[in-house]
Amino acid sequence: MEISLEGKVALVTGCGPNIGSGIALALSRYGAKVACNDVSDESIAACIRRIERNGGTAMAAPGDVTEEEDVRGYVEAVLERWGRIDILVNNAAVLGGRGVLDEEAAAFERAVRVSSLGYFLNTKHVGRAMAERGIRGSVVCISSSNGWSGTAGVIAYAFSKGGVNNFVRAAAMDLAPYGIRVNSFTPTAPTPDNPELLAAGVTGVLQSPPRGGDRGAGGLGGPTGDEPWRRPERWRGERTPMVPMGTTGTPTDIGHAVAWLSSDYARLVTGTDLVVDGGARARNFAYLPAAAGDLAGPVPLVGLDGSAATE
Ligand SMILES: NC(=O)c1ccc[n+]([C@@H]2O[C@H](COP(=O)([O-])OP(=O)(O)OC[C@H]3O[C@@H](n4cnc5c(N)ncnc54)[C@H](O)[C@@H]3O)[C@@H](O)[C@H]2O)c1
């Protein structure tokens, strides 16, 4: 099976150096032209550089995914330049946060807004552009394992990612008559493999740290208010022993899967979720995976970025 996105145009939101950049690069390596969105011009520039040095074609689509005028503006700019959008990847999100006793209303609202309004506005305007042109495109909404099971310390993130999962099913029904597919992809704390992050010394699982300062209801049920059980467990360096295959993979693994999901091979895949996580989500709570030394491990990663491949 030779996946080709040749002739297709993709828009990826939130092209930061970790997952967004990995997906954008993969779509480009499979043949798509890629419009890179972010609120950070620096992240957009780095993503475009990465695509171009790997032989791809990219453009900037700067803007805030929660501002309808911004979304309209960059969607128009992509249509003006390339005439079509075949693939939308809703990826921009605000990670990290606090638990239900400590989260602040403004932070909760912002995190939920980016994942809810952001995913909605981009799906609406790109969906309309696809439908108007008869393009039977693909929308992929990046979810999280936090959208499927509970984690302490990220109440807004968990709320919004749970919402993403049902947004996908409902939007899939809205867009099915036009031949447009809508699915989610669920990453599970991948190991960064962007050479620029590796060069900067980032090697472990990359997640936003919990926000510091006064944790609001600090001390309730514990002496400091900052006990580990109030936060998601964060694995650094060595891979968590709780993953059956020994690894949840890299942004490159995510990119390969999103490229397939956006290709014509997946023409009847809609309203569902794809997860590439080494069995992490499939694991029953009472099952302890084999020790790292007893694992065969996955086959080697098919790298997409010259020097990449950390696993
Ligand atoms: N890193 C993980 O462990 C992990 C695990 C599961 C799911 N995910 C999901 O994968 C996706 C990417 O995660 P990541 O680790 O690369 O995160 P990241 O924080 O590195 O990247 C998110 C990007 O979104 C951008 N962004 C935030 N708000 C925006 C807005 N309003 N408009 C436009 N851009 C905006 C940020 O500037 C940033 O570049 C997110 O949807 C996240 O929820 C991440």
190 Cα nearest atom in ligand 1: 3
> The domain spanning residue 174 has which CATH number?
3.40.50.720
Structure tokens that stand for 310 in this block: 């950390």
How much is the mean pLDDT over the chain? 91
Q: How far apart are CA 190 and CA 251, in angstroms?
A: 6
Q: Looking at the domain assignment, is residue 301 inside a domain?
A: no
Query: What's the CA-to-centroid distance between 254 and ligand 1, angstroms?
Result: 14
251 Cα nearest atom in ligand 1: 16
Can you give the pLDDT at residue 231? 72
pLDDT confidence tier of residue 291, bands split at 50, 70 and 90? confident
Structure tokens that stand for 289 in this block: 């995976």
Instruction: Mark 159-178 as b/e (b = at least 16 C-beta within 10 Å).
Output: bbbbbbbebbeebbeebeeb
pLDDT tens-digit readout, 193-241: 999 998 888 766 555 544 444 444 555 777 677 777 777 666 665 666 7
Residues noted as catalytic: 157
Q: How far apart are CA 147 and CA 281, in angstroms?
A: 11
Can you give the pLDDT at residue 212? 46
Q: Looking at the domain assignment, is residue 311 inside a domain?
A: no
pLDDT tens-digit readout, 112-170: 999 999 999 999 999 999 999 999 999 999 999 999 999 889 999 999 999 999 999 99
Strands 87-90 and 138-142, by their bridges, are parallel
Structure tokens that stand for 170 in this block: 């409902």
Q: Looking at the domain assignment, is residue 31 inside a domain?
A: yes
Domain count, the chain: 1
Of 13, 15, 38, 143, the residue with max ligand 1 atoms within 8 A of its CB, to mutate for a pocket test, comes to 38
Can you give the pLDDT at residue 285? 87
Q: Going by CA atoms, what residue is nearest to atom 13 of ligand 1?
A: 19
Q: Going by CA atoms, what residue is nearest to atom 4 of ligand 1?
A: 189
Q: Looking at the domain assignment, is residue 251 inside a domain?
A: yes
Q: How far apart are CA 231 and CA 226, in angstroms?
A: 8
115 Cα nearest atom in ligand 1: 41
- Domain range holding 148? 9-210+217-294
Of 13, 19, 50, 194, the residue with max ligand 1 atoms within 8 A of its CB, to mutate for a pocket test, comes to 19
Residue 214 or residue 29, greater confidence: 29
Q: Looking at the domain assignment, is residue 85 inside a domain?
A: yes
